[in-house]
Amino acid sequence: MKSIWSQLCFFWMVVQAVFAQTTPASLPQTQHKFVVIAHRGNHQHVPENTLASYEDAIKAGTDYVEIDLRTSKDGVLMIHHDATVDRMTDGKGLVKDLTWAELSALNIKKNQPSDAHSYRIPTFKEVLKLCKGRIHIYLDFKEADVAQTWQEIQAEGMEKQVVVYINKIPQYKQWRSIAPQIPLMTSLTEAINTPEKLGFFLGQAKLEVLDNISDQGMLEVAHRNGIAVWLDVQNPSEGPEMWQSALQKGVDGVQTDHPEDLVKYLNENKLREGIRNNNAAVLAAKPSYRAFKDIAYGEAPGKDNLLDAYFPENHNAQTKVVVYIHGGSWSRGDKSEFPEPLIQKLVGEKGYALVSINYRLVKDGKNRFPAQIEDVKKAISFITDKAKRYQYNGKEFAIIGASAGAHLALLYAYGHDQAKQVKTVLDLWGPTDLSDKSVRADGSDANNTVINFLGEADPKAQICLDASPAYHLTKETGVPTLIFHGGEDPLVHVSQAQNLHKKLDSLGIVNHLEIYTKEKHGMSADAAVDVFAKMVEWLEKYYPAVQKQ
């Protein structure tokens, strides 16, 4: 059985850079719509993950054979499920610590004492040769080099016969970079357990297959996004009742320990094309919105003074605006980082207008603070001035910021919003006190980043106070504030969020602090979907959108 993709960890600020892919890969063509995957081959009578088990899977009429890829000590790609050879062979030790010759010399234990055949651990090349033109491969990518794996797939002309199951985020990035045409599959983390959360996730990670989704609403979200769903049904009680249950869910295929029996069952019941549950409630099409890109709000060169605006259908003079400020240590990043699923949610569904802004970035000692906050003021003024012309409410705003962008959002709200237009601010792991030397150790990334931003090394300097949102916060300037932070953030210490929370409390200003104890700077997939949901809830409470006409 595959492990849950618990290693997935990506930063929300750079999610589009990590997961961006404009054209999805295509799944291998199969004779039947409902695919049958032979788990480690057809291993009821012969040992798993052997050439014999794969040959039997082919003879049984299955569509895919699932194999487990590992690497020998001397760099040969081998097929073996376990990290060690102890369970399946007469040898001992880790696959990665044994050479190809040592692995090939091992005898695989037989299922039945009467079996006169001998079995050994096959190489990936041998499996590719056996399967070419006969059956597709479901490649559980355990421990191997992506470039080497892709090279061997190409050498055998198997580019259109492989689906890769990924277990770790580096594997995702490597496969998308080296072989973007290969379809990818994974499991969902336990936190992605609702249709809404799945929708957020799929707006970030471009996949072709998911497994083990049994909730009808989530299944429909996957299908709406063009993603196939394959269930694992292999367990001691596997049989017709379980197969029928999987079919009734409307999934696109199953992975089985009894491929021969399953194919026979499907054929006898005329179910090789599967059952799509057309009676289930179909989710509505994605809400639509209008996007206007690269609008100039200032005169800085390049993209520094550009913004993107997103408007709901039928927006009017009462449509409220949410402003987003990107992160990137004040020296990188872009307005395009705002996740598309959150645009769909806030703009297409809830009816807000959204504006995502760029600002001058520190480069080669130029554009240091206060250039960034000056640009935020310019952008807010521009948005205010254009309200009547473009039909939205330009008198009040909510501001969301991530990392450096959260710093600017807080600083503007507490220190530069002379017109009192900001009604709430959402802080995603932003620094709040640049004068706090206790979280700026000499030589640390945090200290170097602040020095580069301000051009001043002394935390006691006036510019550090001027640039710190916490020093501008008073009972008169404070607004409802939602704070998210990682408990193990190595760049912006969690005490920055905790101290801001305490000061807001002391001033009687509505606020809420969410600390994700195991997260670092940014959020993992599990935390990100929770952050998204809580952001929407907060906005609806403290900055409710006008109902769409």
CATH of the domain at 87: 3.20.20.190
Average pLDDT over residues 101-124: 95
**Cα 342 to Cα 262: distance, rounded to the nearest angstrom:** 41
Q: Is residue 2 a part of any domain in this protein?
A: no
pLDDT digits (tens, 9 = 90+) for 460-472: 999 999 999 999 9
How many domains does one find in the chain?
Answer: 2
pLDDT given for residue 282 in this prediction: 39
pLDDT at 200 exceeding the cut of 70: yes
Confidence of residue 206 (pLDDT cuts 50, 70, 90): confident
Query: What's the whole-number average pLDDT of the chain?
Result: 91
The number of residues in the chain equals 549
- Asked if the structure places residue 92 within a domain, the reply is yes
How far is C-alpha 524 from the geometric centre of its chain's CA atoms? Answer: 8
- Of the three residues 212, 237, 268, the one that is the final residue of a domain is 268
pLDDT at 287: 65
Confidence label for 490 from pLDDT (cuts 50, 70 and 90): very high
Dihedral over alpha carbons 132, 135, 139, 140 (to 10 degrees): -150
Least confident of 125-134, 141-150, 249-258, 333-342: 333-342
pLDDT of residue 168: 86
Q: Is residue 4 one of the residues assigned to a domain?
A: no
Asked whether residue 405 falls in the same domain as residue 346, the answer is: yes
Same domain for 452 and 533, yes or no, is: yes
Burial environment of residue 80 by CB neighbours within 10 A (0 to 12, 13 to 18, 19 or more)? buried
Q: Which domain does 445 fall in, by range? A: 289-542
For residue 4, pLDDT beyond 50: no
Residue 318 lies in a domain: yes
Query: Can you tell me the mean pLDDT for 419-429?
Result: 98
Average pLDDT over residues 44-68: 97
pLDDT at residue 485 in the model? 97
Residue 306 shares a structural domain with residue 165: no
Distance from C-alpha of 397 to C-alpha of 273, rounded to nearest angstrom: 52
Please tell me whether residues 367 and 476 are part of one structural domain: yes
Are 92 and 205 in the same domain?
yes
pLDDT at 547 (0 to 100):
52
Domain boundary among 211, 239, 268: 268
| Residue 507 in tokens | 């001033």
Q: Three-class SS of residue 511?
A: strand
Q: In this model, does residue 280 exceed pLDDT 50?
A: no
Q: Are residues 239 and 340 in the same domain?
A: no
> Confidence band (pLDDT; 50, 70, 90) for 286?
low
Task: Count Cβ atoms below 10 Å from residue 519 Cβ, excluding itself.
Answer: 22
Residue 207 is assigned to a structural domain of this protein: yes
pLDDT tens digits along 146-175:
999 999 999 999 999 999 999 987 898 899
User: pLDDT tens-digit profile of 383-410?
Assistant: 999 999 999 999 999 999 999 999 999 9
Q: Is residue 359 one of the residues assigned to a domain?
A: yes
Asked if 321 and 243 sit in the same domain, the reply is: no
Q: Does the residue 6 lie in any domain?
A: no
Confidence category of residue 144, pLDDT binned at 50, 70, 90: very high
Same domain, 101 and 29: yes
* Whether residue 353 sits in one domain with residue 248: no
Residues 186 and 73 in one domain: yes
The CATH number covering residue 471 comes to 3.40.50.1820
In the three-class reduction of DSSP (H, G, I as helix; E, B as strand; rest coil), residue 445 is classed as helix
Residues 390 and 344 in one domain: yes
Using alpha carbons, select from 429, 504, 435 the residue that is nearest to residue 466.
435
Q: Does the bond joining 370 to the residue before it have cis omega, within 30 degrees of 0?
A: yes
Q: Compute the average pLDDT of residues 135-144.
A: 97
Average pLDDT over residues 287-293: 88
Q: Which residue has the higher pLDDT, 285 or 368?
A: 368
Q: Is the pLDDT of residue 500 over 90?
A: yes
Q: Which of 233, 268, 303 is the last residue in one of the domains?
A: 268
Global pTM reads 0.68
Q: Are 206 and 325 members of one domain?
A: no
